[in-house]
Structure 1
Amino acid sequence: MKKKPIERHQTLREKILETIRDAILCGVLKPGEKVAEPELAERFGISRTPIREAFRQLESEGYLTVIPRRGAVVTALSERDVKEFYAIKAILEGYAARMAAKNLSDRDIDRLESINDKLQQLANEGDVKTFYRVHNEFHELFIRAAGNEKLAELINQLVMKFNRPRLASLSLPGRMQISVDEHRKIIEAFKRRNPDEADNLVRKTASIGGQLLIQSMAREEGREPTEKSVLDQMVDI
């Protein structure tokens, strides 16, 4: 008898999370804009408790900032935030790839190729949400293969807090295909058991994601990006 309310609660919570995430990513909710509890409570016909729980989850993912006596507002991302996140991500995941190049089994590499084939299909279909989930599986596989639990924990804590910029980056035109193409290069480095190449490629992939997002942010603000388009740079990578 106790299971039904819990199941319903979780379902509603997920709906709230998805509604707010989509509104932020699509630009319906702007940076600094308040996300009102009463409106969501009325829309879903529920109390404010599951809404506040959803807010805490979205705050941990970097979508919202909960301010005392003001409530939840959409977190404003700065170029500095994006640069710092992708710089740290590049270092940590690059090191993980370096270690994984020595540890990945042939079966692991086959699995990476299978995941990337799925990503190619999702990129063709334009399914960003599923792409994002499967994309995480690709990175999680080689990070686990690095054999360093503390490193895996650090990376997980970092990327969980920056889900929003990562998903926003993958949503940009052409970004999913770039990711698939870069993954193919990383897989080849793993096949060659080349730690240096794997490290460098993973770092470059993170750098591409950060640069694309910064360029998109600049255009949204009516500014011209200071650097040439990442797509133009791809011929050099």
Structure 2
Amino acid sequence: MDTNKSTAALAFLQSSSLPMLVQEEIERLIMTGELAVGSRINESELALRFNTSRGPIREALRALEEAGLVRNEKNRGVFVREIAFEEADEIYELREALEEIIGRRVTRAIAPDALDRLKAMLEPMRSAAQAQDLEQYAQLNLQFHDILLDTAGSQKLIETYKRLIKELSLFRMRALDGGGGLRVSVDEHREIVEAIASGDPERAGRVMREHVAGSRARMHRALGRNDAAQRAPLSPSSTKEA
């Protein structure tokens, strides 16, 4: 009887975790560009690829729709979502405010080991930038900001921030490539670490906000929208452009 219960519990765990694993893998395909923006997602191909039925695929796609990464068009299917420039610009504006909050919270809460982890990431980031390895740099950048988020210690802040980051992923890759971000991004991250290490929450918040403002300006340049950058100030606290 106990064996039957254990087997049933294991089967339930496997079936309930499968959609989450599938979701994570589809999300990875979107983030790396293997599933291109605007492309239709073929449920049958994904089911064959992951060696599963279409049920977990559909459940994963529903979760990704709620996360803002895909859209479901009636009678047409599910597509990787495209974000208009205007929406991306609004998300950058929200990120500026969130990063300032994160910078202040992290500076008040960070422990020496977390600060050491941030410092240790700077050299790999510089190497990836010098090698023009956009995908590697993007992964390191996400890890850097994950350390900051974990240190900030707010689950709601983490959830909100990560959703915005996912929606912006493709725009941010273009900004790193076409907007000149790789030339300056490592130095901006070094400034963030130095500001946090200074123990001044206001300085750290300001530097992190300026970092996102610089990313926003690079996105404008990469998409040929310098006119938009001029009409909308990058940050109320700084006019610095990286």
Aligned position for 1:153: 156
The 1:39/1:15 distance shift into structure 2, 3 A limit, reads same
Larger Rg: 2
Aligned position for 2:115: 109
Q: Deviations over 1:76-124 (max 9, x none)?
A: 2122211221211211221221232233233332221012223223333
* C-alpha contact 2:102 2:149 (8 A) present in aligned 1: yes
Aligned position for 2:214: 208
Could you tell me which amino acid in structure 2 is paired with residue 154 of structure 1?
A: L
- Distance (whole Å) between structure 2 residues aligned to residue 43 and residue 105 of structure 1: 43
Residue 41 of structure 1: how far off its partner (Å): 4.3
Determine if the alignment matches structure 1 residue 51 to structure 2 residue 57.
yes
Residue 200 of structure 1: how far off its partner (Å): 1.2
* C-alpha contact 1:119 1:134 (8 A) present in aligned 2: yes
What pairs up with 1:61-100 in 2 under 5 angstroms?
61-100=67-106
> Alignment length, in residue pairs?
220
Please identify, of 97-106 and 81-90, the stretch whose mean Cα deviation from structure 2 is larger: 97-106
* C-alpha contact 2:96 2:212 (8 A) present in aligned 1: yes
- Distance (whole Å) between structure 2 residues aligned to residue 145 and residue 45 of structure 1: 38
Aligned position for 1:141: 147
Please identify, of 161-170 and 111-120, the stretch whose mean Cα deviation from structure 2 is larger: 161-170
Aligned position for 1:231: none
SS, match of residue 77 in structure 1: coil
SS, match of residue 226 in structure 2: coil
* C-alpha contact 1:17 1:54 (8 A) present in aligned 2: no
* C-alpha contact 2:19 2:60 (8 A) present in aligned 1: no
Residue 35 of structure 1: how far off its partner (Å): 2.5
Aligned position for 1:225: 226
Residue 164 of structure 1: how far off its partner (Å): 4.0
Could you tell me which amino acid in structure 2 is paired with residue 141 of structure 1?
A: I
- Distance (whole Å) between structure 2 residues aligned to residue 84 and residue 190 of structure 1: 27
Aligned position for 2:4: none
Residue 236 of structure 1: how far off its partner (Å): 5.3
Could you tell me which amino acid in structure 1 is paired with residue 207 of structure 2?
A: L
Could you tell me which amino acid in structure 1 is paired with residue 156 of structure 2?
A: E
- Distance (whole Å) between structure 2 residues aligned to residue 69 and residue 41 of structure 1: 20
Aligned position for 1:124: 130
Please identify, of 185-194 and 152-161, the stretch whose mean Cα deviation from structure 2 is larger: 152-161
SS, match of residue 72 in structure 2: strand
The 1:177/1:110 distance shift into structure 2, 3 A limit, reads farther
- Distance (whole Å) between structure 2 residues aligned to residue 42 and residue 105 of structure 1: 46
Could you tell me which amino acid in structure 2 is paired with residue 157 of structure 1?
A: T
Q: Deviations over 1:182-212 (max 9, x none)?
A: 1101111122222222111101111222232
Could you tell me which amino acid in structure 2 is paired with residue 185 of structure 1?
A: E
Residue 126 of structure 1: how far off its partner (Å): 4.0
Structure 1 gaps of 5+ residues are 229-233
Could you tell me which amino acid in structure 2 is paired with residue 169 of structure 1?
A: R
